[in-house]
């Protein structure tokens, strides 16, 4: 069989060659079996073969990915294949990071246009809305990318590596943001204009991004009750948005005081329906906590329901060292119910504003949607430390888990006694410390923890002034359902440090998009001239996980409906190449991440009610959506996955859950 170099010919040959070569892990014997002489192939043809091989690992264009492990042009044909077989085996164990090229750049360098301090996956796409600081068009503070100028917002397309500018002039930096039921994005709060003529005050602003037009809309008649810099947002199923805390201004400035209150924005009526609520976060929640720790508290909507008051909602709130369960009543009051036990490590601060990352663990019908939160990493509170001490302070290795009781038990006052114990301590440990980690939930129920530094704390500005160093370049995978000694595996290592203001989002391909960071390593000296320079990172990466290199991932071929309601049944047809047995189906909303906090991230497994017979083709499963009173899913867009063993579908299907 002759080798051909046209794309059409490669497409014809690939179905014959690729599954065989993948299944047998690539050896020269495969070419002999296909009657291809390795010695007759040019280096270019072998490189193209390898590119085709990599193309099978992603639905994205493999030619956009810079593979740091691709053999050099000096390798012989046999060595090239031997090297690639070794690399491929490593990818199957650890996955890989690959920088995504941007063909629109003159030199093809990777660029998101704006530093990805904030990122939102736009539903039904591979496009990511991102925004960051104001970037002057000239001067030492920044070097804006082409076409961006003073704008703070772009939309980055992972499938092309390119971006488009989406102008916004009410300062978005440090806003809260969530995806609504119709797929639009609400962003509340932000920063001041800093005196730039083209930027306006953003701290009390509510805006909407419309993916259909790729434009921002500022609501001129809507104003938050007070300035909110670093607020957290949580959506209710009826499209009300709870906007929690934040600061009136940067704590470093004289006006930098907490905003110890909650607003509620009604997306349907485009109005603030609760203004400066009676729940005083400053007194009730953050007692004895440094005021700066009211920045981006971790707030999660719980799945509890009180049969006596079914219109009340419950919130899990956590920041730095402590937290509360809070009840949001039908008459718009926020009532503290229970104070969580503090972290048992002195001077350590966990989830808040990029210290550590908190997630709701996978919600499973087999466990009656038991609600549990895990917090990964953290850093020092910095008490008694000068800049040198903060720069060198080790980050935390910890993984804390808080398992909540059923609502019926909590309403009786039966609360957890402590954090979940592992062995003889109240936490687990990661292989190495990590501050400002990102935690990404996967469709198979595992969690990837990535980004961050091994020393220091979040800090710095557009001018630099980093307060962290020693990049946490290697990602880990955490499986909360496994026995304690088998939960953590080490993944790939990136060549780019991702410090404060970095980001990570799950894509419909099952890969993780990684971007952002704007600081270099901190300096030990406390002298005024010793501040670390800025290091604005525009490069984006794709973290492909080990399952990307497994040829046996199932492929969804059809679903019975793109739109479902609570309690509906959904039939999913798929091809499978592995065990041929889909044992799990999950849904995940589009991510909305900033400062280590993905504001509505969760994975919910669906109950399988029927499936194909053993010899029946095509293969299919039938699932039932959760009921409305299960309170595990809000109406809106979701990525739908089937999972064969631990292998999620090669690409998710988007569905919309109606109310």
pLDDT above 70 covers what percent of the chain?
82
Q: From CA 244, how far away is CA 515, in angstroms rounded?
A: 26
Scanning the structure block, which residue is given the tokens 């909407």? 208
- Three-state secondary structure of 287-349: CCCCHHHHCCCEEEECCCCECCECCCEEEEEEECCEEEEEEECCCCCEEEEEECCCCCCCCEE
Q: Give residue-wise pLDDT tens across range 505-540.
A: 999 999 999 999 988 898 877 654 456 778 889 999
Q: Which CATH superfamily is domain 118-547 in?
A: Galactose oxidase/kelch, beta-propeller (2.130.10.80)
Q: Looking at residue 535, what is its pLDDT?
A: 86
Kindly tell me the sign of the dihedral angle through the C-alpha atoms of 476, 480, 482, 484: positive
Q: Looking at residue 431, what is its pLDDT?
A: 96
C-alpha 107, offset from chain centre: 29
Spatial CA neighbour of 290 closest among 530, 457, 524, 469:
457
Q: From CA 618, how far away is CA 574, in angstroms rounded?
A: 7
Scanning the structure block, which residue is given the tokens 């953590």? 488
Q: From CA 310, how far away is CA 439, in angstroms rounded?
A: 32
For CATH 2.60.40.10, list the domain ranges present in the chain.
Answer: 551-658
Q: Looking at residue 390, what is its pLDDT?
A: 86
Under DSSP, is residue 83 helix (H, G, I), strand (E, B) or coil? helix
For CATH 2.130.10.80, list the domain ranges present in the chain.
Answer: 118-547
pLDDT above 90 covers what percent of the chain?
59
Asked if pLDDT for residue 112 goes beyond 80, the answer is yes
> Which of the given ranges, 60-64, 151-155, 238-242, 258-262, has the highest pLDDT on average?
238-242
Q: Looking at residue 47, what is its pLDDT?
A: 66
Scanning the structure block, which residue is given the tokens 């014809």? 12
> Which tops the pLDDT comparison, 74 or 348?
348
The domain 551-658 is placed in CATH, from the list 2.60.40.10, 3.30.930.10, 3.30.1390.10, 3.30.1330.200, at 2.60.40.10
Q: Give residue-wise pLDDT tens across range 597-627.
A: 999 999 999 999 999 998 888 999 999 999 9
Asked if pLDDT for residue 3 goes beyond 60, the answer is no
- Report the 10 Å Cβ neighbour count for 268: 11
Q: Give residue-wise pLDDT tens across range 177-224.
A: 999 999 999 999 998 877 677 788 899 999 999 999 999 999 999 999
């Amino acid at each position: 069989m002759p080798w051909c170099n046209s794309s059409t010919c490669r497409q014809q040959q690939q179905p014959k060659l690729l599954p065989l070569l993948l299944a047998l892990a690539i050896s020269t014997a495969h070419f002999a079996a296909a009657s291809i002489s390795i010695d007759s192939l040019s280096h270019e043809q072998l490189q193209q073969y390898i590119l085709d091989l990599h193309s099978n690992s992603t639905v994205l264009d493999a030619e956009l990915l810079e593979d740091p492990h691709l053999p050099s042009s000096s390798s012989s044909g046999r060595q090239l294949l031997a090297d690639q077989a070794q690399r491929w085996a490593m990818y199957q164990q650890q996955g890989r990071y690959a920088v995504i090229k941007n063909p629109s750049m003159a030199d093809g360098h990777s660029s998101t246009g704006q530093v990805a301090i904030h990122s939102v996956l736009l539903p039904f796409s591979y496009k990511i809305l991102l925004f960051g600081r104001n970037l002057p068009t000239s001067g030492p503070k920044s070097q804006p990318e082409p076409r961006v100028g003073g704008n703070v917002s772009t939309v980055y397309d992972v499938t092309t590596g390119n971006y488009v500018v989406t102008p916004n002039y009410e300062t978005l930096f440090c806003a809260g943001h969530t995806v609504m039921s119709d797929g639009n994005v609400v962003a509340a709060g932000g920063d001041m204009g800093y005196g730039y003529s083209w930027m306006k005050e953003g701290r009390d602003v509510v805006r909407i991004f419309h993916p259909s037009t790729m434009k921002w809309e500022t609501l001129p008649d809507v104003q938050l009750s007070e300035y909110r810099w670093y607020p957290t947002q949580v959506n209710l199923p009826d499209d009300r948005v709870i906007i929690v805390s934040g600061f009136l201004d940067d704590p470093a400035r004289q006006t930098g005081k907490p905003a110890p209150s909650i607003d509620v924005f009604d997306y349907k009526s485009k109005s603030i329906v609760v203004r400066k609520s009676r729940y005083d976060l400053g007194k009730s929640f953050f007692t004895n906590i440094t005021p700066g720790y009211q920045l981006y508290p971790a707030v999660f909507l719980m799945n509890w329901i009180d049969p006596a008051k079914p219109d009340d909602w419950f919130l899990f709130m956590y920041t730095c060292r402590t937290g509360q369960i809070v009840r949001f009543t039908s008459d718009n009051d926020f009532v503290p119910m229970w104070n969580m036990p503090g972290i048992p490590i002195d001077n350590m601060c966990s989830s808040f504003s990029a210290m550590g990352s908190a997630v709701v663990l996978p919600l499973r019908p087999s466990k009656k949607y038991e609600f549990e939160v895990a917090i990964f990493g953290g850093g020092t509170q910095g008490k008694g430390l000068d800049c040198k001490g903060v720069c060198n302070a080790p980050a935390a290795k910890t993984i804390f888990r808080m398992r909540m009781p059923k609502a019926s038990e909590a309403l009786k006052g039966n609360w957890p006694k402590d954090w979940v114990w592992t062995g003889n301590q109240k936490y687990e440990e990661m292989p190495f410390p990590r501050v400002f980690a990102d935690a990404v939930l996967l469709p198979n129920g595992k969690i990837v923890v990535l980004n961050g530094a091994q020393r220091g704390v979040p800090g710095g500005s557009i001018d630099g002034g980093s307060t962290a160093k020693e990049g946490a370049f290697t990602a880990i995978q955490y499986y909360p359902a496994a026995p304690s000694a088998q939960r953590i595996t080490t993944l790939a290592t990136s060549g780019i440090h991702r410090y404060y203001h970095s980001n990570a989002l799950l894509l419909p391909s099952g890969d993780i998009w990684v971007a952002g960071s704007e600081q270099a390593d901190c300096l030990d000296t406390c002298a005024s001239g010793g501040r670390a320079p800025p290091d604005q990172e525009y490069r984006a990466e794709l973290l492909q996980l080990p399952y990307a290199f497994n040829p046996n991932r199932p492929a969804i071929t059809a679903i019975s409906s793109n739109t479902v309601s609570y309690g509906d049944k959904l039939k999913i047809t798929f091809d499978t190449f592995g065990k041929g047995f889909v044992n799990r189906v999950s849904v995940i909303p589009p991510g909305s991440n900033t400062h280590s906090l993905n504001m509505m991230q969760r994975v919910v497994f669906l109950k399988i009610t029927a499936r194909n017979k053993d010899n029946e083709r095509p293969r299919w499963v039938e699932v039932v959506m959760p009921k409305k009173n299960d309170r595990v899913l809000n109406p809106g867009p979701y990525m739908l996955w089937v999972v064969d063993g631990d292998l999620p579908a090669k690409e998710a299907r988007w569905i919309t859950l109606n109310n």
